[in-house]
Structure 1
Amino acid sequence: MKRVVVTGLGVVSPLGNTIDTYWDNLVNGTSGAGLITRFNTDKFKTKLACELKSFEPEKHLDRNEIKRSDLFTQYALYAATEAVQDAGIDIAKENPFDIGVIWGVGQGGMETFESEVESFVKGDYNPRFSPFFIPKLIVNLAAGMISMKFGFQGINYCTVSACATANTALMDAFNYIRLGKAKVIVTGGSEAPITQASIGGFSALKAMSTRNDDPATASRPFDINRDGFVMGEGAGAIILEDYDHAVQRGAKIYAEMIGASMTADAYHMTSPHPEGIGASMAMKQTLEEGGINPAELNYLNLHATSTPVGDIAELNAVAKTFPDLSKLYLGATKSMTGHLLGAAGAIEAIASIKATMHNLIPPTINVEELDPKIPAEMNIVLKDALETEVKYAMSNAFGFGGHNSTVLFKKA
């Protein structure tokens, strides 16, 4: 099996649109949440979200790319461009069929769908829809547009597994490179779910926070008074590469990806298994594939969305997986970024990679009183970032439908 390394990173997030800005805000415990500005929320119970700040697509996209793509694809193109540039990939020096794109998107063009259908109903289209309606809507266009932008002609497709989506993309990219099917893969995920339909739909499920009077503290994983997740948006891009290829071209190596796994709860449409059986198995399989025992893991970035049921179920899974919790530090970066659905795993994998680079674990913010159901021996990093050795970092992402996905990185 080939070794797989990380050689490039790119991000568009509620905490910043560069890797350095994103990381600085994470370790400083900055909240990305605020009142929604995209649409009038008078009719909505949830009026807050983690929106992007000062997103300027024209920095990396041309006019046609912006005109012909939904926001989720714009975010993907932006983050992918930063990652490709960061990795120093020169297509003129590569076989284009050796470079692929495996990209994760959970919902796709929700904003496009809403605006097109609304215009049709109002009679603005009589009777035709925009010719760009379907290309802007479908989830695979992000992967396709990235390949077109850079001329990457290798494997190219989109993964969809709800909020486990980006980790699924990472796992597939990892395995294709290990098997020698590609030298380089642009992977990650993007999502643009701050729309009326998306916010309204998740609100109907009673899954979202309604702490509208204080948005900055609304995302509070593990807190006794948590009342649901906060929607986020953006993209994370990671360049995974065959180790030998990376060394041959003199690429900088940020970390090594050494394991990934997926399981299913086979339990409920929207709720995780309360005992975390499937999630625990995903973590165990990932550790086994990475060749490390549970006691060696330093940092686990939890899925931890700030829902009453989900947080405890995941910690039950952690307790099943790690008999000795004394040296394992836990964190929930969603307390700052909100939940980016299909993109969540990507930006959280980036946080995990950066933790190994800097020996620094971002905090979990907004926890005023820990849920008493949480075992006292669990080391959750609260309020302030923790400086400690991070040789291995793991990241969880779980999704509606019972999808459990876990990825594992090793310090370069």
Structure 2
Amino acid sequence: MSRLPVIVGFGGYNAAGRSSSHHAFRRMVLESLDSQSRQETLAGLAVMMKLVKVVDGQYQTPEGTPLTLAELESRFTDAIIAGTLIRRIEKRYLDVDAAPWQKNLNLTGTAGKPLEFITLRKHLPEPLPSDWIVEELNETDVQVTLYDGCDIKVDSFRALPVKSAGQLPTGFDPAELYASRFHPRGLQMAVVAATDALRSTGIEWSTILEHVAPDEVAVYASSAMSQLDENSFGGLMQSRLKGGRVTAKQLALGLNSMPADFINAYVLGSVGSTGSITGACASFLYNLQKGIEQIGAGKARVVIVGNSEAPINQECIDGYGAMGALATEDGLRQIEGREQGDQNEVDWRRASRPFGQNCGFTLAESAQFVVLMDDALALELGADIHGAVTDVFVNADGFKKSISAPGPGNYLTMAKAVASAMQIVGEESVRLRSFVHAHGSSTPANRVTESELLDRIAGTFGIADWPVTAAKAYVGHALASASADQLISALGSFKYQLIPGIKTIDAIADDVHRQHLSISLVDVPRTAQPLEVCFINSKGFGGNNASGVVLAPEVVERMLRKRYGAESFAAYCDRREHTRAAAQQYDQRALHGQFDILYNFGNDQIDDRQLRITPEKIQVPGFSRPLMFSKDSRYSDMLD
């Protein structure tokens, strides 16, 4: 009997806020929510952004004035909206109007005279250039005479052509939530995001471990760009050029495997399987594929899958900008019909415009994680099921001329995904009750190629008016975490039966293929045909294509009721009530700013001398169940 990988928890942080309990999704569809949901999400964001505080369970202004939810909404909505989603890059990242760089200068003396200057002896270069004449002035100072001049680098500043990004909510700093000394931002985000996902399950991690063997836990997570700030590869590469020294942490913490490593070592204390698969912008789906394969094969019963990406720095902006991939100020001016000398700012909040008139994608930071279990364990624990991932398909593009250009691989992944879903839930469900979370990067090439791909797939499988949405319109392009943002949004659509519109565009571009597609500019509620299937599509540089099939929780419940019978499913539903209550309690604490971060530095370390090894099993200290050696008869027919 095949094990079904079900989603029992999800969480993280991006430009829309906290993902658990669908708050990030709710920020994206704020105007379409009922009053209570809207006020709760606004209140949670206001606390994250330090606009309000909570004292004895009561929301208050920083000055101590009590606030009702209605008063909080009235007073702080404008600031919350301005400080979330895509917006102008804040100075806590870098000053985009005065970004530092160095200019090369050639210095020579005037009127044929030599160039002379005074410096400290300890600042002289080693070895000393052959044309430098050095005269000692005192114990510390020397005078240098140059007859041929020299080249120097001087600090300078310039405005960046790219000035927008999807940033974590203004005022929210993951470094403040735990002892994050010397941790790169991407790893800080990984710790707090993985915590959010685990807390969202409503089940203590220690309880989960009591029901599985030590090697039945797996973590698959990565970052496409590695870690690039001063505490990691950024500082490593820049240290000598800046006259500084490399630290012992910068190289290790820069590795793109560190999100998984940090979760194993400091959040879970896991000794199970681990991996960090990178597929450019499709990295999350690559890791998700590995996770569901492990569950399907019975090699893991609990899998944490996710990514953390923190690319809002000058190097990433320069790199992607040099490729012409990013939305620039001049490009947005042209789209908006502004004259070159127009001093009014462009609409940075609408920098990402999937399937509309656009000029490039918008970088973003995001860390998102999902908790997967096999269906049997989920029922045993009474886990709340938010959906299931039945398949992820990955295909390359074949021979390429341009490594960044799209190719045929995505046709293979999407076609296989649709065909697979039809076999599982039926043709009618896919044709009438499915939707697509498109890659929707907001480049002119993507709007044509991806729309043509989806349109052709829809026509082939007889799908009319296939709903297409794109999370990047709201939160930007978080590279490795991009398809995780899409999945989290899809779970919100299942919960609220609401497909977010692409509200950053005025109209769909003329070159977008949509004979069989429905791309809305407003949020679309679903009542007559509730959503049952979502296809997550992702395209990455280098020919990294992936498409995933996600089933709604109502579909999963029908499947489980049939598999286990009405009586067993009813007992599961009773257990689930306790789990949901615990998850709701965490949500309320988080809304009040109590994020309960899981960070265990050096706690409960395993002494390998205490391992008890027999020919049948290994008993690992701290784990109630032993690791049993599996019986392996795979190749028995090949031996005498």
The reply on whether 1:34 has 2:166 as its aligned counterpart is no
Letter in structure 1 aligned against 2:183:
S
Note if 1:381 corresponds to 2:497.
no
Partner of 2:442: 306
Q: Report the counterpart of residue 173 of structure 1 in structure 2.
A: 291
User: CA–CA distance in 2 between the matches of 1:150 and 1:59?
Assistant: 20
CA distance in structure 1 between the partners assigned to 2:511 and 2:248 by the alignment: 53
Could you tell me which amino acid in structure 1 is paired with residue 387 of structure 2? A
Give the superposition deviation at 1:296. Answer: 5.0
Question: Which residues of 2 match residues 373-412 of structure 1 at below 5 A?
Answer: 373-377=511-515, 378-388=517-527, 389-412=530-553
Find out whether 1:79 has 2:193 as its counterpart.
yes
Report if aligned partners of 1:4, 1:240 keep a CA contact under 8 Å in 2.
yes
| Equivalent residue for 2:162, pick from 46, 50, 61 | 46
**Deviation (angstroms), 1:217:** 1.1
- TM-superposition CA deviations, 1:182-234 (whole Å, max 9, x none): 001000111000011101000000111013621111111111x2000111101
Name the stretch that deviates more: 181-190 or 20-29. Answer: 20-29
Question: Which residue of structure 2 lines up, in the alignment, with residue 368 of structure 1?
Answer: 506
Displacement after TM superposition at 1:179 (Å): 0.6
Could you tell me how far apart the structure 1 residues matched to 2:508 and 2:403 are? 28
Residue 272 of structure 1 corresponds to which residue in structure 2?
406
2:366 is aligned to: 234
Contact kept, 8 Å, 1:259 with 1:287, in 2: the verdict is: no
* Uncovered stretches (5+) of structure 1, i.e. residues with no partner: none
Instruction: Report the number of matched residues.
Output: 402
Instruction: Give RMSD over aligned pairs.
Output: 1.8
1:132 to 223, 234, 249: 249
**Which amino acid is 2:374 matched to?**
D
Task: Pick from 482, 485, 489 the counterpart of residue 347 of structure 1.
Answer: 485
| CA displacement, residues 349-386 of structure 1 (integer Å, 9 cap, x when unaligned) | 11112212221111112111211122453201213343
Map of 1:15 onto structure 2: 16
- The answer to whether 1:122 aligns with 2:242 is yes
Q: 2:464 aligns with which of 326, 332, 337?
A: 326
1:187 counterpart SS class: strand
Deviation per CA, 1:93-147: give whole Å up to 9, x if none: 243321110113111111132233333222222xxx1110112100101101101
Q: Give the Cα–Cα distance (whole angstroms) in 2 for the partners of residues 191 and 354 of structure 1.
A: 22
CA distance in 2 between partners of 1:328 and 1:78 (Å):
36
Match of 2:354 in 1: 221
2:322 is aligned, of 201, 204, 207, to 204
Structure 2 counterpart of 1:404, one-letter code: N
Match of 2:67 in 1: none
Q: Quick one: distance in 2 between partners of 1:135 and 1:69?
A: 11
Match of 2:395 in 1: 263
Deviation track 1:220-255 (CA, whole Å, cap 9, x = no partner) reads 1111x2000111101111011101011011111111
Taking a change above 3 Å as real, the CA distance of residues 57 and 226 of structure 1, as seen in their structure-2 partners, is same
Q: Secondary structure at the match of 2:299?
A: coil
Q: Which has the higher contact order (CA 8 A, sep 6+)?
A: 1
Cα distance in structure 2, aligned partners of 1:59 and 1:181: 37
Task: After superposing the two structures, state which structure 1 stretch, 303-312 or 324-333, moved more.
Answer: 324-333
Q: Distance in 1 between matches of 2:382 and 2:372?
A: 15
Matched, 1:283 2:283: no
Amino acid at match of 2:520: V
Q: Structure 1 residue 186 and structure 2 residue 186: aligned?
A: no
Q: Hey, what's the Cα distance between the residues in 1 that align with 2:432 and 2:271?
A: 39
- 2:86–2:474: 8 Å Cα contact kept in structure 1? yes
Q: In percent, how many aligned pairs have the same letter?
A: 24
Deviation for aligned residue 1:177:
0.6
- Sort the Cα spacing of 1:287 and 1:297 in 2 relative to 1 into closer, same or farther, 3 A: farther
Residue 195 (1) aligns with residue 250 (2): no
Which letter maps to 2:17? G
Partner Cα separation in structure 1 for residue 312 and residue 503 of structure 2: 22
SS of structure 2 residue aligned to 1:120: coil
The answer to whether the 8 A contact 1:104-1:188 is kept is yes
Structure 1 197/227 Cα, relative in aligned 2: closer, same or farther at 3 Å?
same
> What CA distance in whole angstroms lies between the structure 1 residues aligned with 2:359 and 2:382?
48
Structure 2: distance between partners of 1:179 and 1:296: 31
Aligned equivalents of 2:409, 2:19: Cα separation in 1: 34
Answer with 1 or 2: which has the greater Rg. 2
**Distance in structure 1 (CA, Å) of the matches to 2:526 and 2:431:** 19
- Measure the CA separation in 2 of the matches of 1:89 and 1:245: 14
Q: Does the 8 Å CA contact 2:309/2:366 hold for their aligned counterparts?
A: yes
Local SS of the residue matching 2:221: strand
d(CA) in 1 for partners of 2:464 and 2:310?
38
Residues 322 and 89 (structure 1), Cα distance of their counterparts in 2 relative to 1, 3 Å cut: farther
* TM-score (ref. length: structure 1): 0.93
The amino acid that maps onto 1:120 is: R
> Which residue in 1 is equivalent to 2:233?
113
Runs of 4+ residues deviating >4 angstroms: none
Alignment check: 8 A CA contact 1:283 1:406 kept: yes
Residues 49, 338 of structure 1: 8 Å contact kept: yes
CA distance in 2, matches of 1:200, 1:194: 10
Letter in 2 for 1:259: D
Distance 1:99-1:68 versus aligned 2 partners, 3 A rule: farther
Task: Return the letter of the residue paired with 2:446.
Answer: G
Aligned mates of 2:181, 2:360 — CA distance in 1: 35
Aligned partners of 1:382 and 1:99: how far apart in 2? 42
State the TM-score, normalized to the length of structure 2: 0.61
Change (3 A) 1:58 1:375: closer
**Structure 1 CA distance, aligned partners of 2:206 and 2:420?**
32
